[in-house]
Each structure stands twice: as structure tokens, then as C-alpha cells.
A and B are shown apart, each in its own frame.
Chain A
């Protein structure tokens, strides 16, 4: 427990939705102050987990009730999925797994962090970070520092950080995946595509940043061209030959 002393700030890690969730609040005192956010993430898990048979989404998929009768958060998520599906030309498809099963989990992580940030704001927090499995919103500063510095992990050398971004209101999402040697798979040719190991997208909103990072990573070597055209979002791609490609506005910290 954190004592309510002059040393302000508290953080906690919990494993929810199959990933570690970190909340680091610098202008809040007492561990209990973080409860509303973790309660929110547990609620999201109970609602959207496709791994839990009693989740709302699982019951919806079994036809226990109609979409129209689903809770309002389900409507909100499905609507965002539709918007992103259009924007990514079908990349985000809640029916991706099968035609009669909804699986919005590709969006739920980023969306739930955005909603948690809104909740934190309503609670009066102004300096905090909410990190769900490596994707995060950072707001204000890591007091006493006036901003948050986020390290982008090297996709292969996991104890190395290849870039540092800093900001006072950022969503940061990184997508990557398994590589066989230097290869990732091109979704169109089904051939190993040369050289993209991870994509990081930075912008105002994590649901979008995460969706864009996911889409860009799947594009492989075509990703940089697509990233360069994103509005309001900046990107950094790490290639297998130890180079980075980034948009000019990417908020890198000069070392």
C-alpha cells in the first residue's frame, strides 16, 4: 500500500483481458484511487472476452439475445468497428473469424484504454499513463517530469529501446509479430515480405492508433507509404536490417 504522504503518485499492474495493464497516476494518492479504472477493465473483459463463455459477446454470439438488446457499450464498440472497417478497407472486420460470430477484440483494447483515460479525466487526474499490453495513453507528465517518455522496444532485442517519444497527450501503439529470420508474410502474395519487424503509431486516440499499427504491420513493406498518408497520426517502422522509417512529425526525443 502506498502511504498518503507528501510523495504523491501510485501505480499498479494487473493481468486483465489476457495482458498486463499498468496504471501509473502521478497526481493521485492511495492505491484505492486506481480501483475505478481496474473495475472498468474487468467490466470490459466480462463484456467483450471471446474466451469467456459467459461474456456478453459470447452470449450474443450464441444468439441468447439480439444485437439490438445488447448493452450500450457493445453498440459503441461495434459502431467503431464499422467505422474502422471502412477506413481500413475491410481490415477491421468483426466477422473476420466467421460470418456469424462477432469478435471485436481487435478494437477493444485501444477503445477501453481511451475510455479509461476519459474516466481518469473525470476523476480529476491530469498526469497519468494507462498501458495495456504495450499500447498506451499518456497524459500530462510523469511528475516531477513535465512530460511522459515512452521507449519503443526493439522487436527482436527485447532489452533494447530503439526510439523514445515524449509528449503530454499521446496514444502510442506498437504492432509486430513473429518473424522467420528476416521475414514477415505478405497478405497478398503469401510470400515472406522483406523486412518489417514492427510499426509504432502515435496520435491522439489509441483505438485508431492501434488499428492503424495493426493494419500497417500487416501491409509489410508497403506500410511506410500508407503511414505517410495518415492524418493526425505519426508512424515509425522498424526494418529487419536495423533501420527505422518515420514520419517527420513523429515525436522523437533527441538523444
Chain B
């Protein structure tokens, strides 16, 4: 069977962590009057995601875990929330040797960017790093889920 992706390439490839990612590890809790609440914070680092030609991207998330204990039922409710996303390893290009020729005077037109929108059929974008980012983020979230 074909694996279909139900989104256009532009948004699909570049979707960054959003509330869905947070929701994935959050659990709703119905706290009662005299609950005991313990809050802990911990960092989780995902395995570096391969960002194709740019090297690796490593994502760390900071997760706040709130454990509430119901005094009557002794039932514990755990709520996890991502409070920060950090990217300690940035892609760099230290291994690359590139051809640079500064002798020619470039003929270039410089303009201030402005939003465009009318009648676009396709979107061109750079996907490499964001895919590595997503990959690493996903693995960090999986680790946090097990906490």
C-alpha cells in the first residue's frame, strides 16, 4: 500500500514542534481539593537528527512533570509539559571547501522583502535541517514520555 501524506510539501516538511507535540505527552488531570502536588523539571536530549548535507541537529527539551496525588484514592496523576526547546548542536560546514571567487563584481538587485501570495502552485523551501530537527525532537519526546 502506498503511504500517503495528507499535506502539501511546504507545510509537511517544515512543520516545527507545535502544541500537538506538547499535547502528545500531556495528560489531563482532574485535581480535587486536597491534592499533593510534586513538580520536577528534567531535560531530555534526542539522538542527533541527520540534517542531510548540513550535519547533525540535536534537540533538547525541558520537561516539567507535575505529579498530583489524590489524598483519598492515592491515585497519582502525572502531567508533563515541554517548557523549552533547545538546539545545542547547530549544523556547520567546517568540512566543506567551497569555491569562492570575489574578483567579479556581482550584478545583483537588492530589495526589501515583502509577502507574496497570489496563485501559487508549488512551494520551494529548504527541508534538510528541519527534518533533522523533527527527528531529534521526536526522540527527545519519546524519552520524556518514559520519565
B51 CB contacts on chain A under 8 angstroms: 177-178
A149, B120: Cβ atoms closer than 8 Å: yes
| Chain A min CB distance to B49 (Å) | 11
B10/A153 in contact, CB under 8 A? yes
Whether B129 pairs with A14 at a CB distance below 8 angstroms is no
Complex interface: stretch among B37-45, B70-78, B94-102: B94-102
B87 touches A22 (CB 8 A): no
Tell me which residues across on chain B come within 8 A of A38, comparing CB atoms: 2
> Is residue B84 contacting chain A, with contact meaning CB distance below 8 A?
no
Are B126 and A198 neighbours in the complex by a CB distance under 8 Å?
A: yes
Residues in chain A near residue B20, CB distance under 8 A: none
Q: Please, which residues of chain A bring their CB within 8 A of the CB of B53?
A: 105-106, 214
Q: How far apart sit A198 and B127, CA to CA, in the bound complex (Å)?
A: 11
Chosen A-B contacts, 11 in total, with CB atoms closer than 8 Å, are A20-B5, A90-B99, A149-B119, A149-B122, A151-B116, A153-B14, A161-B116, A187-B94, A224-B108, A242-B112, A244-B110
Residues of A within 8 A of B97 (CB): 89-91, 187
B 1-50 contacts with A by CB, 8 A: 2-14, 16
Q: Considering the chains assembled together, what is the distance between the CA atoms of A208 and B91 in angstroms? A: 23
Give the contacting residue for B13; candidates A133, A142, A253; CB below 8 A: A133
Alpha-carbon separation in the docked complex, A142 to B113 (Å)? 26
Please report A residues at the B interface, Cβ cutoff 8 Å: 12-15, 18-22, 24, 38, 87-91, 96, 105-106, 129, 131, 133-136, 138, 142, 145, 148-155, 158, 160-164, 172-178, 180, 185, 187, 190, 198, 200, 214-215, 217-219, 222, 224-229, 238, 242-248, 253, 255
B52-65 interface mask toward A, CB cutoff 8 Å, 1 = contact, 0 = none?
Answer: 11100100000000
User: Residue on A with the closest CB to B92?
Assistant: A185
Interface residues on B, range: 35 or more
Chain B residues with Cβ below 8 Å from A133 are 9, 13, 127-128, 131
Q: Who on chain A is nearest to B57 by CB?
A: A178
A22 touches B8 (CB 8 A): yes
Query: Are B95 and A150 in contact (CB-based, < 8 A)?
Result: no
CB neighbours (8 Å) of B52 from chain A are 105-106
Q: How far is the CA of A149 from the CA of B111 in the complex (A)?
A: 20
Task: Check if B146 is an interface residue, CB within 8 A of chain A.
Answer: no
Partner of B87, one of A14, A142, A178, A243: A178
How far is B72's CA from A24's CA once the two chains are assembled, in angstroms? Answer: 60
Report the bound CA distance from A136 to B123 in whole Å.
9
A226 touches B124 (CB 8 A): no
Q: Point out the residue from B91, B98, B100, B110 that lies within 8 Å of A178, measured CB to CB.
A: B91
Residue contact B124 to A14, C-beta cutoff 8 Å: no
Task: Check B124–A20 contact: CB distance below 8 A.
Answer: no
- Chain B positions within 8 Å of A13 at CB level: 4-9, 12
Give the CA-CA distance A135 to B108 in the complex, in Å.
Answer: 23
Is B13 a contact partner of A148 (Cβ separation < 8 A)? no
A131 and B9 within 8 A (CB)? yes
Q: In the complex the two chains form, is A136's CB within 8 Å of B122's CB?
A: yes
